[in-house]
Amino acid sequence: MDEAPGSLGALRRLNRLRVLDTLRRRGSVSRAEIARRTGLSRTTVSNLVGSLLEEGVVVEQVGEERQPATPNGGRPPTLLTLDPSAGAVVGIDFGHDEVRVAVADLAYTVLSETSCALDVDHRADDALSAAATMVEQVLDDAGLERRRVLGVGAALSAPVRAGTRAVASAAIFPDWVDKNVAEELGRRLRVPVYIGNDANLGALAEATFGAGRGVANLVYVMLATGVGAGLVLDGHLYEGDTGVAGELGHVVVAPDGLICRCGNRGCLETIAGARAIVQALRQSHGGDITLADVLDLAEAGDAGARRVVADAGRAVGRALAGVCSVLDPRLVIVGGEVAAAGDLVLDGIRESIELTMTPSAGHAVSVVPGDLGVRAEVLGAIALAMSSGPSQLAATHLPTAAA
């Protein structure tokens, strides 16, 4: 069963991820250095490292690889490194209209990646089957045997309820309700599978090795077909009491606006989602226009395209202003397909935040593009699988950033 965020099991997984992240960042490091950089006790570090050594995830350097003796002639400390060849983890991103799969070694180096277009929202069984086939493909491409896969992380474009890790909204992800995605994928792949919301895993990726690295308090906004947010508070991924925190796309910003797929009227998604942006230009620019066309037109100076993208940014900023006023994050990271519009959408977000918040608070929040682009969610799924360990349940906590 899943464990509460404050439980001993959850704390152990958080500490485990801190140790792994320190090893990943430093390359080779002693137990004492891990303790210093993570703030964990030497006993805790020793116990965690012992488990990682038994699993073959971490190895001790020997012979000439060891550090020289200390100045007083004492025994040199034993250095530890990740053993990338000890295993691999797989990430799957179930977007609204695409499935993306990647496999990485234990140093987070992506070895193979693929994607395919699919109506994921309404074809759950097809999406699960496609993902299983694509996992086999990336493993073959990377020359990896299945037995070396320690776990699989999967991102879903829908609220994921804490405890059950099940889809929490029939309106937003209709064909996935009552599906035990971890169990069904696990049966197909015969490896442990861990599930998370896509925006949360995008936040996990950007905070672990992207634009939010080293930042304890941030909001990650995913502007794609839907609009979602992941919240990192005091270095922890915050999911709320039921696991559905961060559903920014269904904050009402236009009470008299269009009906949203969730049943409400005027949700942010009806203005700033990719489908809404495209739909807004079809009457004036033709019914076959795509988001890529809109972004190209905007870059070329088309007035209509620039207006609809800027309006989307301003609407996102209005919704974020309340979040920033309450949570006081240092950083807002914007990812997803629409983020490719660059400053045109980012400036709209900045403008609304600065106008809506008090001047001092508004200017303290930096709004930046994500480093990982549309790959953030699949990389976050990889990080989820990595943090969970070969025999652990999913952890949704971040490592404390190294100084």
**Digit-coded pLDDT (tens) for 248-269:** 999 999 999 999 988 899 999 9
Closest CA to 104 of 87, 119, 117: 87
Per-residue pLDDT reduced to its tens digit, 55-105: 888 889 875 444 555 455 556 789 998 887 778 999 999 988 899 999 998
Give the pLDDT score at 320: 94
Distance, CA of 340 to CA of 344 (rounded, Å): 9
Angle between helices 343-356 and 303-327 (to 10 degrees): 40
CA angle (170, 220, 347) in 5-degree steps = 115
**pLDDT at residue 134 tops 50:** yes
Phi, psi (degrees; rounded to nearest 5) at 93: -115, 110
pLDDT band with cut points at 50, 70 and 90 for residue 18? confident
Instruction: Give 309-361 pLDDT, tens digit per residue.
Output: 999 999 999 999 999 999 999 999 999 999 999 999 999 999 999 888 866 65
**pLDDT at residue 13 tops 80:** no
How far, in Å, CA of 134 to CA of 113, rounded? 9
Architecture of domain 213-370: 2-Layer Sandwich (3.30)
- Rounded distance between C-alpha atoms, residue 284 and residue 95, angstroms: 28
What pLDDT is recorded for position 360?
60
- pLDDT score of 402: 33
Does 6 score more than 50 pLDDT? Answer: no
- The reply to whether domains 8-85 and 213-370 share a CATH topology is no
User: Is residue 399 predicted with pLDDT exceeding 80?
Assistant: no
How far from the centroid of its chain's Cα atoms is residue 375's Cα?
9
Helices 198-209, 376-388: inter-axial angle, 10-degree rounding: 80
Copy the structure tokens of residue 376.
Answer: 């953030």
Tell me the pLDDT of the chain averaged across its residues.
Answer: 85
DSSP 8-state assignment for residue 214: T
Phi, psi of 368 (to 5 degrees): -135, 155
Beta-bridged to residue 335, according to DSSP, are 222
Rounded CA separation 331/321 (Å): 12
pLDDT in tens, 135-168: 999 999 999 988 889 899 999 988 887 766 667 6
CATH code of 8-85, in short, is 1.10.10.10
Residue spans of the domains in the chain: they are 8-85, 86-202+376-388, 213-370
CATH of domain 86-202+376-388: 3.30.420.40
Three-class secondary structure of residue 246 per DSSP: coil
